[in-house]
Amino acid sequence: MRRTALPMLALAILIFWGSTAGATPPVWIVRDADSEMILFGSVHVLPKGLTWRPEVLNKALAAADDIWFEIPVDPVASAQIGQTAASLAKLPPGQSLAAMLTPADRARLAKVCRRLGLSPTQLDPFKPWFAEILLGTAEFQAAGAAATSGVEGILADAVTRTAERRAFETPQQQLDMFDQAPMADQLASLKDSLRQMQTDPKAYDRLVAAWTAGDVRRLDREVLSPMRQAAPEIYRRLVSDRNQAWIGPLEARLKGHGLTIVVVGVGHLIGPGGVPARLRALGYSVQGP
């Protein structure tokens, strides 16, 4: 649940206002005899005004038969996320976030909160996973980035109106992945994010720079490697297990015909355990990095 790995609420963080000339975010194209599937990796929270849409994606948006997201992209789903998170986020009576942290981590939290205009007492009633989301959201806002500028909302509006909207998961399922993670892993992820927020404030800049340049090796280094090291159980829950779970629906779709767009967090598409690599291993033609 590192800041660069929160799938629906906050998964990456701060600003790179341009892109490498001639480069675009990575795209994978999966084909069989009568189907084509465009896999596009999302950054869920982006600054306004960033140019990022590859031409192959633009063409697909005008002709797609269906488009898949991690969860539904609509006002009802957004409201459900907020309501469900509120019901899950609080610690049991008598517990506090501060009591779970070491003195050094409490001091780091206080410094990060001061920079973001928050108070540690605001976070004290919440479980570590939700405190991390609140900190990430505050950092987005301070940087001028927002989910409304993120990939999903823009593509949901841009795809042809006749395209069927599909989702791999429900908001409840996605939030349960955070809430049911072992407390030790939640704390490890929060502590790692606090360390990064304090010592490496340019991490998000590098993430978005790598994304706009289509640099999958840098993306693996910036997005996945830190999570694998800091919170391997959360990495398994949020990345590996979900990648495998999505293969079944994607194979079923490929057995049909037509043009499909799949939009999921970019961390799900890179590396040997990513969705494209898993489809290649099953024998599908996959063009891309």
Mean pLDDT of 159-175: 95
Instruction: Give the whole-angstrom CA distance, residue 276 versus residue 176.
Output: 26
Residues 6+ apart with CB under 8 A from 235: 5, 224, 227, 228
Per-residue pLDDT reduced to its tens digit, 172-231: 999 999 999 999 999 999 999 999 888 887 777 788 889 999 999 999 988 888 888 888
Domain count for the chain, please give it: 1
* pLDDT value for 23: 62
Q: Enter the tokens of residue 136.
A: 């990430």
Instruction: Give the whole-angstrom CA distance, residue 126 versus residue 79.
Output: 20
Residue 150 has pLDDT above 90, yes or no: no
Cβ atoms of 225 and 267 within 8 Å: the answer is no
**101 DSSP assignment:** S
Structure-derived torsion over alpha carbons of residues 272, 23, 206, 155, reported in degrees to the nearest 10: -80
Distance between start and end Cα atoms, the chain:
25
pLDDT grade, residue 138 (50/70/90)?
Answer: confident
Instruction: Give the whole-angstrom CA distance, residue 30 versus residue 35.
Output: 8
Q: Report the amino acid identity of residue 274.
A: G
Name the strand (E) or helix (H) holding 285: strand 285-287
Query: Residue 42: beta bridge partners?
Result: 265
**169 DSSP assignment:** S
Q: Report the amino acid identity of residue 289.
A: P
Instruction: Give the whole-angstrom CA distance, residue 6 versus residue 111.
Output: 22
Residue 11 has pLDDT above 50, yes or no: no
- pTM tops 0.85: yes
Residues 6+ apart with CB under 8 A from 124: 96, 97, 98
Q: Enter the tokens of residue 60.
A: 């697909």
> What are the phi and psi torsion angles at 185 (to 5°)?
-75, -40
Mean pLDDT of 167-174: 94
Cβ atoms of 260 and 35 within 8 Å: the answer is yes
Instruction: Give the whole-angstrom CA distance, residue 36 versus residue 183.
Output: 41
Per-residue pLDDT reduced to its tens digit, 242-279: 999 999 999 999 999 999 999 999 999 999 999 999 99
What is the pLDDT of the chain when averaged over all its residues?
88
* pLDDT value for 227: 83
Cβ atoms of 288 and 276 within 8 Å: the answer is yes
Q: Enter the tokens of residue 29.
A: 């194209």
Integer angstrom CA distances of residue 9 from 24, 115, 152, 161: 24, 21, 11, 25
Cβ atoms of 198 and 106 within 8 Å: the answer is no
* pLDDT value for 211: 92
The string of DSSP letters for 223-284 reads: IIHHHHHH-HHHHIIIIIHHHHHHHHHHHHHHTS-EEEEEEEEGGGTSSTTSHHHHHHHTT-
* pLDDT value for 3: 38
Domain that holds residue 280: 3-287
Per-residue pLDDT reduced to its tens digit, 22-62: 468 999 999 999 999 999 999 888 887 888 999 999 999 99
Residue 73 has pLDDT above 70, yes or no: yes
